[in-house]
Amino acid sequence: MALFRITRSVDPAPLLRGAGLYLRPAQGGDYPAWSALREASREFLTPWEPTWPADDLTRGAFRRRLRRQAEEIARDESFAFLIFEDDSDLLLGGITIGGIRRGVAQTASLGYWMGAPYAGRGHMTRAVAVAAAFAFSTLRLHRLEAACIPSNIASATLLERNGFQREGFARAYLCINGAWRDHYLFGLLEGEAASGLAHRRPGPG
């Protein structure tokens, strides 16, 4: 039934634009900037992410990441994007609409990371707004979910600015930095997204 699937094809390399930034899937030429930003942000990101594999920043691992990304897009399972500053093409971070569940759910999970030098400037707030618009309009999802560690106030705040509502608390929900961590659970329904954020001028928050 059309209700339970995408009713129009999705560009295999979608380009999404917002205020002062754009999102697109990673490409081979992104490796130097991606690996440099991830390495420079290692200490900043470690408390909030799963343990990095020993070879995570190698070129070979990046190639495998690109292959997996293309396969997941083709199967309508996950859409991973890098986030770039519009004027300079500077890499800022990444965001993923993953774990897509069709059928009666029409749901996906949102994950994201911001490079340490660019955190706290409102970039991710706007990137989440752009990704949510894509999820509801192009992917035709009904619901987006997200989770964050209770002490990650910045992440909870940007979700709430985008209209996400805190719906629950999950004990030992995800293994983060080598330990099972409790998480707050957030949800956003189609039609609830905060209006205007995707096109708001860059600035704090």
Instruction: With CA atoms as reference, report the closest residue to 134 among 26, 10, 12, 20.
Output: 10
Q: What are the DSSP calls for 187-199, one per residue?
A: EEETT-SPTTGGG
- For residue 80, the tally of other CB atoms under 10 A from its CB is 20
Q: Rounded distance, CA 182 to CA 56, Å?
A: 25
Strand order in the sheet with 165-176: 16-18, 21-24, 79-85, 91-101, 107-114, 143-148, 179-189, 165-176
**Domain chopping of the chain, boundaries:** 13-145
Contact 155, 48 (CB under 8 A): yes
Please give the chain's pLDDT, 205 residues, in tens. 344 444 445 666 689 999 899 999 999 999 999 999 999 999 999 999 999 999 999 999 999 999 999 999 999 999 999 999 999 999 999 999 999 999 999 999 999 999 999 999 999 999 999 999 999 999 999 999 999 999 999 999 999 999 999 999 999 999 999 999 999 999 999 988 765 555 555 544 4
Global confidence as pTM = 0.89
Pairing of β 91-101 and β 21-24:
unpaired
Instruction: Give the pLDDT confidence score for residue 1 in this predicted structure.
Output: 39
Contact 141, 107 (CB under 8 A): yes
* CA–CA dist 68, 71 (Å, integer): 5
Three-state DSSP at 114 gives: strand
d(CA 35, CA 205): 26
**CATH of region 13-145, choose from 3.40.630.30, 3.90.1150.10, 3.30.70.20, 3.50.4.10:** 3.40.630.30
pLDDT value, residue 14: 82
pLDDT for res 205: 44
Element (H, E) at 157: helix 153-161
